[in-house]
Structure 1
Amino acid sequence: MKATRAVQQILANYEGEPPGVKAQLCRMLMTGKLGGTGKMIILPVDQGFEHGPARSFAPNPEAYDPHYHYKLAIDAGLNAYAAPLGMLEAGADTFAGQIPTILKVNSANSLMPDDQSKNQAITASVDDALRIGASAIGFTIYPGSSSGLEMFEEIKEMRREAQAKGVATVIWSYPRGESLDKDGETAIDIAAYAAQIAALLGAHVIKIKLSTDYLSLPEAKKVYESEGIDVSSQAARVRHCVQSAFNGRRIMVFSGGSKKGSDAVYDDARAIRDGGGNGSIIGRNSFQRSRADAMEMLGKLMDIYRGKA
């Protein structure tokens, strides 16, 4: 497998990283129907942990089976499949080597009391990632939570271990916590800040949510207005978040969020493409549809990222 020029240019941005990490990034970037383009679509299936089984899989009961997700990711030609340890272990032997996997190493659940600080438990290790052949670990941080600093320290240590063992690190950077209201969680200034924090923590791939044009922090709002930073369209907001992650020197993918209509999913992808993002990490909007509908939608998304739709 020869890396394309586009992939080589992306890998060149990761100065100081060991060959093992770059090899795993190359593997993900070169896999699937978008392989070699520099664009990515990743299937994440951690919602059973986060939201519970019925809320996650009842709309498409086939999705209760861990093998279903491996098959969907492989047959659709995605770049990678991300899930917690138990989900990946349940198919790691059957599907070994057929698709890069990302081991989600921390998780939360919806049974936690609302008055607790937003946090996640570490539920897997770098050695688990090596054992099941994963290309990367995935770790969620919550900028804005009183537990955020603890989470930063945890991923610092896990990233160091993963780097030493040739495993890449993907950071889910989701602003939430006591200092943010619902509007603040998706505000553009907060989203860009979350992207910057993930990059500074050493993420090789950054996952954030698409943002709104709302400005949450008064001091940041002054700068956005005085400098005329364009946040008027979704593509402009994507571009600003990509700029905030070392001016595009880090791979950035955007969450698909809760299930919505196909046209909205396609509009999001066009904004990500036009804003210079690397792609989508799309879970509920794929596995909560029937397999046939999911395959059709994922195929259309790939056409969008290739500039054909």
Structure 2
Amino acid sequence: MSDKVKQILSCYESENPGVKANLTRILMHGKLGGTGKLVILPVDQGFEHGPLKSFEVNPDAYDPHYHFQLAVDSGVSAYAAPLGMIEAGASTYAGMLPLILKLNSSNSLHSLTSDQAITASVKDALRLGCTAVGFTIYPGSAKCFDMIEEAREIIAEAKSCGLAVVLWSYPRGEGISKEGETAVDVIAYAAHIAALLGANIIKVKLPTNYLEKEKIEAENIEPLFKRIEYVRKSCFAGKRIVVFSGGESKGIDDIYNEAKEIKQGGGNGSIIGRNTFQRKREEALSMLREIMGIYT
């Protein structure tokens, strides 16, 4: 274990040896192992957006093994996916990389309520050899209090079994404008809620310089790295691991520039799905190598 990882783990004072061991597996795995930085490959977009929108641009990605192999060959820190995707490769790739089982999901066929269904369990994660579970909450939505209570129960169960917890915290709802969903003050609030719930790893979207509810001096949020610093400060003064979503499809230079800003702002890394697997394999591998080079 590197000194950097030891320092990160020292901030998780209440966690049992199982949770710390699984956090160590993630933090020490792959090309960024030991650096305190993470790049995670998430493939839950088929649930969220449908197979055509998610995979048709790169038809090889219909095959669950494609994503496992991409994660292994690229040397990312972990692979996150819903139950069926992980089940489809769990035996072939057993022990080859840390797995994060996403326990809830929404789908775009139903868009009336900002909510997610629970689609897997902590027992599933243990059965499949996962190191962590993932769960989404929507702070600000009509269902946010139910989702928070669900998350609290799952976090307690997962930790009691020695599994680490990754919390996707995505603000949305009637009281938040579309711009406000990525406003720096709202993203920081969502990240803080995840920390308060006991998340080991917090996932949020990249914050824009828009302000929804709070007043912050412009010079403190104008460059992206300053906004990253603000979000990181909201995660217990940087004592919790926070990674940032890659978001919608974008140009490769934009992705590299975002990684540079995340690093400069002290963020722990990126969790990049569509911007990875929607590219052809060799391009995706090259891009991931470049991103991990930035973080080192």
1:274 equivalenced with 2:270 (yes/no): no
1:184 equivalenced with 2:180 (yes/no): yes
TM-superposition CA deviations, 1:90-135 (whole Å, max 9, x none): 00000000000000000000000x4x32000000000000000001
Code of the residue aligned with 1:258 in structure 2: it is E
TM-superposition CA deviations, 1:15-50 (whole Å, max 9, x none): 010000000000000000000100000000000000
Alignment length (residue pairs) = 296
Report the Cα distance in structure 1 between the residues aligned to 2:219 and 2:283, rounded to whole angstroms: 38
Report the Cα distance in structure 1 between the residues aligned to 2:286 and 2:78, rounded to whole angstroms: 18
Q: SS of the counterpart of 1:170? A: strand
Q: Show the counterpart of 1:136.
A: 132
Report the Cα distance in structure 2 between the residues aligned to 1:71 and 1:123, rounded to whole angstroms: 24
Q: SS of the counterpart of 2:133? A: strand
Report the Cα distance in structure 1 between the residues aligned to 2:69 and 2:80, rounded to whole angstroms: 13
Identity percentage over the alignment? 59
Once the 2 structures are TM-superposed, how far is the Cα of residue 229 of structure 1 from its aligned partner?
Answer: 7.2
Q: Show the counterpart of 1:249.
A: 239
Q: TM-score, normalised by structure 2?
A: 0.99
Runs of 4+ in structure 1 displaced over 3 angstroms? none
CA RMSD between the two structures = 0.8
TM-superposition CA deviations, 1:45-97 (whole Å, max 9, x none): 00000000010001110000000000000000000000000000000000000
For 1:163-174, what aligned pairs fall within 5 Å after superposition?
163-174=159-170
For structure 1, the 5+ residue unaligned runs are none
Q: Show the counterpart of 2:8.
A: 10
Pairing partner for 1:65 from 41, 63, 66: 63
TM-superposition CA deviations, 1:133-187 (whole Å, max 9, x none): 0011000000110100000000100000001000011000001111111111010
Report the Cα distance in structure 2 between the residues aligned to 1:39 and 1:273, rounded to whole angstroms: 9
Report the Cα distance in structure 2 between the residues aligned to 1:127 and 1:28, rounded to whole angstroms: 20
Report the Cα distance in structure 2 between the residues aligned to 1:249 and 1:92, rounded to whole angstroms: 32
Report the Cα distance in structure 2 between the residues aligned to 1:144 and 1:117, rounded to whole angstroms: 12
Report the Cα distance in structure 1 between the residues aligned to 2:14 and 2:26, rounded to whole angstroms: 19
Once the 2 structures are TM-superposed, how far is the Cα of residue 259 of structure 1 from its aligned partner?
Answer: 1.2
Report the Cα distance in structure 1 between the residues aligned to 2:210 and 2:46, rounded to whole angstroms: 31
Code of the residue aligned with 1:279 in structure 2: it is G
Report the Cα distance in structure 1 between the residues aligned to 2:188 and 2:160, rounded to whole angstroms: 29
1:80 equivalenced with 2:78 (yes/no): yes
For structure 2, the 5+ residue unaligned runs are none
Q: TM-score, normalised by structure 1?
A: 0.95
1:208 equivalenced with 2:198 (yes/no): no
Pairing partner for 2:114 from 114, 118, 138: 118
Q: Show the counterpart of 1:26.
A: 24
Q: SS of the counterpart of 2:159? A: helix
Report the Cα distance in structure 2 between the residues aligned to 1:100 and 1:250, rounded to whole angstroms: 19
